[in-house]
Amino acid sequence: MKKPILGWSLRKSYRRLGFYSKEKNLLVISRILDSKKVPPEVVKFLLYHEMLHMAIPVQKVNGRRQIHPPVFKQREKQFPNYQSIQKWLKKNLVKL
């Protein structure tokens, strides 16, 4: 894989925590996560999630785009402490 350009979003977004642009080779994480309140593992997980988009491109199934196909979700869950990171995001995201 080609190393992407990494950066924080310009605005704080609670809905879109990150994105990867294949055209620009750009990986962006929401600025709300650039805080001492956020455990480093959460940011690492989001980087991992967006890098999975680099490895597993969008698929078309019955004419519909599948951004997170089953293989994507399976590999995402292999991230260390996946369940605890998901719980942290659900509990703390609105507090940031």
Which CATH number characterizes residue 70's domain? 3.30.2010.10
> pLDDT by residue for the chain (96 residues), tens digit each?
789 999 999 999 999 999 999 999 999 999 999 999 999 999 999 999 999 999 998 888 889 999 999 999 999 999 999 999 999 999 999 888
Tally Cβ neighbours within 10 Å of residue 42: 21
Torsion of CA 1, 16, 83, 95, to 10 degrees: 140
Q: How many residues does the chain have?
A: 96
From CA 61, how far away is CA 4, in angstroms rounded? 27
* Domain that residue 19 falls in: 5-95
> What is the structure's pLDDT at 2?
84
Looking up tokens 């609105």 gives 94
Tally Cβ neighbours within 10 Å of residue 68: 14
> What is the structure's pLDDT at 1?
78
Number of domains in the chain: 1
Predicted TM-score (pTM) of this structure: 0.90
Q: What are phi and psi of 12, to 5 degrees?
A: -80, 125
